[in-house]
Amino acid sequence: MTATSRAARPVARAAAATVLTAALAAGAVLTAAPAGAATDPAWRSTAAPPQQPPVPSEAQLQQSTRVFTQQSIDASVRTYTIDGVSTLETTSTQAGATTITLASDILFAPDLWDVGQPAADRIGQLVADVPEGAEVEVSGHTDVIVGAVENQQLSQNRADAVAAVVAAARPDLVLRATGYADTRPAVTENPEDAATLAANRRVEITYAG
């Protein structure tokens, strides 16, 4: 190998290094281009801007508007009367004895004997005028129809429940609770007349005076 060829090697190496450096620099520029392009809003998002909702026309506005007149308001009001509405109790006096009759359909849920607080408060008011220390009979009655609970048991349970309410309101009274089932109907039952059946479903509080 000649001296000239040896001397040429550093030059070739230097040229190659220059080419590599230039290539790396070009690559760096190409790689960095996206980072610089990120400042361009078009690079961040290409989605179209949201469209504004259409402005409704005058006809559409009129169709969506309701006008209330006094006549239309009056027509929408329902009026209820108390005709046919049953009360919890009725009171009668016969041969020196007073009987407070409580409607079972109002006092109890079907086949149950729990007394709610409003009904208990009302019963307390009803027995407030019973003479002090009086003997009071609380009797339970049913119609002839047998439900989930046998009528004798149901009438006794309801008599006991009302007697407990009376005792809480008037601990001075002497109480006796009896269930009669359907053996003492208040009216003659007609299977086609529900009112006659309801009249016999009752609890009576009877005392002298």
User: Which tens digit of pLDDT belongs to each residue from 18-70?
Assistant: 444 444 444 444 444 444 444 554 445 455 666 777 787 877 777 776 666 76
Tokens of 123: 């019963």
Contact 138, 113 (CB under 8 A): no
Instruction: Tell me the pLDDT tens digit for each residue of 57-91.
Output: 877 777 776 666 766 555 555 554 434 446 899 99
Domain of 115 in residue numbering reads as 89-208
> Is 165 a residue whose pLDDT tops 90?
yes
Residue 153 binned pLDDT confidence (cut-offs 50, 70, 90): very high
Identify whether 196 is part of a domain: yes
Q: What is the dihedral of CA 188, 91, 130, 125, to 10 degrees?
A: 120
Vertex 154 angle, CA 151 and 155, to 5°: 85
Residue position matching structure tokens 């009129």: 62
Residue by residue, DSSP assigns 76-126 as: H------TTPPPSEEEEEETTEEEEEEEHHHHS-TT--PPPHHHHHHHHHH
Mean of all residue pLDDT scores within the chain: 79
Q: What is the pLDDT of residue 49?
A: 67
Identify whether 135 is part of a domain: yes
Identify whether 183 is part of a domain: yes
Vertex 98 angle, CA 177 and 125, to 5°: 75
Identify whether 70 is part of a domain: no
> What is the pTM assigned to this prediction?
0.60
Helices (H) and strands (E) in the chain, counts: 8, 5
Vertex 206 angle, CA 201 and 209, to 5°: 150
Alpha carbon separation from 145 to 110, 199, 203 (Å, rounded): 12, 13, 16
**Number of domains observed in the structure of the chain:** 1
Tokens of 118: 């409003």
Q: Which residue has the higher pLDDT, 206 or 31?
A: 206
Identify whether 162 is part of a domain: yes
Identify whether 159 is part of a domain: yes
CATH number at residue 148: 3.30.1330.60
- List residues bridging with 200 in a β-sheet: none
Identify whether 61 is part of a domain: no
Tokens of 189: 């039952």
CA 118 to CA 173: how far, in whole Å?
22
Residue closest to 130 by CA, chosen among 187, 207, 68? 207
CA 42 to CA 134: how far, in whole Å?
98
Identify whether 191 is part of a domain: yes
